[in-house]
Amino acid sequence: MFRVSKISTKIEGIRYLVFIKLIFNFADFLRGNVNHPDQYQIAFTGLNPGTHIFDFKIGDTFFEQVKDAEITGGKVLVVVTMAREERMMDLHLAIEGKVRVTCDRCNEQMDQEIKGNERLIIKLGDHYYEESEDVQVIPDTAHQFDLAPFIYEYIHLLLPIRRVHPEDKEGNSQCDPEIIKKLQELRESHIPDPRWEALAQLKKNRKS
C-alpha cells in the first residue's frame, strides 16, 4: 500500500511540474517574449456578423520559439469556426495532427498523435483581462487578436499523461531496442525485498 501511495504521489508531483512549466511557457506567449509570426492573428475588424472559418497550419517553427518545451516540433492543423457578433466572437477550434515529444519509456523522440476540440470566447471591453479560462476580454479599440498562445496551450492539454512509442503490427514496442533490453535486464536482476514478501505472506495468512 505504501509503495502504491508513494508512486501515486510521485505521478501527481510530475503532473504538477508539467502544469507549472506549461503556465510559464504560456505566460511567455502572453507577454510577447515569444516571437511567433503574425499568421496566427485574426483580424476581425470589417468582418460581417455570421460564421467565418480560418485554418492554421502549425509546424516546427511554432514550437521552436519556446525553449525547453515538452513539444519540440510537429505538424498540426487547427480549423477555427468563428461566430462573429457585434461585441463578441465565439470560436470553436478543431485540432488534429502529430507532435514530437520524448518517450517516457526509452527517452527517445517520438511522434504523438493529438486530436480534440476547444472553445474560446472573445469579448470586447475596456481593457485586456481574463473573465474565465474560456472567456477573454480585449479592448474595443483592438482590430485583431492573437490565437498563438491559446493554440499552444490547447495542443499541450491534448497530450496524454504517459507518452510511449506505439507497438508495431506484430505487437512489438517501437522503443529503442537497446534501452528495452537494458530495462528487461534490470527487471530480471531485481531482487525482491524480503520484508515485502513477509508482509504479503502475513496478509495471505490472515485471509486464510
- 37-47 residue pLDDT tens: 578 999 998 89
Domain, as residue range, for 203: 177-207
166 in a domain, yes or no?
no
Q: What is the pLDDT along the chain (208 residues), one digit of tens a residue?
A: 333 333 334 334 444 444 444 444 445 544 444 445 578 999 998 899 999 999 999 999 999 888 778 999 999 999 999 999 989 999 999 999 999 999 988 889 999 999 999 999 999 999 898 999 899 999 999 999 999 999 999 999 999 999 998 888 887 777 877 876 776 767 666 666 666 666 666 766 766 6
Q: Say if residue 88 is in the same domain as residue 125.
A: yes
Asked, for residue 164, whether it belongs to a domain, the answer is no
Same domain? 69 vs 39: yes
185 shares a domain with 143: no
Is residue 67 domain-shared with residue 151, that is, in the same domain?
yes
Who contacts 59 (Cβ-Cβ below 8 Å, separation ≥6)? 73, 74, 75
pTM over 0.85: no
Say if residue 98 is in the same domain as residue 136. yes
Angstrom CA distances, 26 to 32, 73, 196, 208, stand at: 10, 16, 44, 56
Q: Is residue 170 part of a domain?
A: no
In a domain, 172, yes or no: no
Q: Is 162 a member of any domain?
A: no
Q: How many domains does the chain have?
A: 2
Is residue 163 a part of any domain in this protein?
no
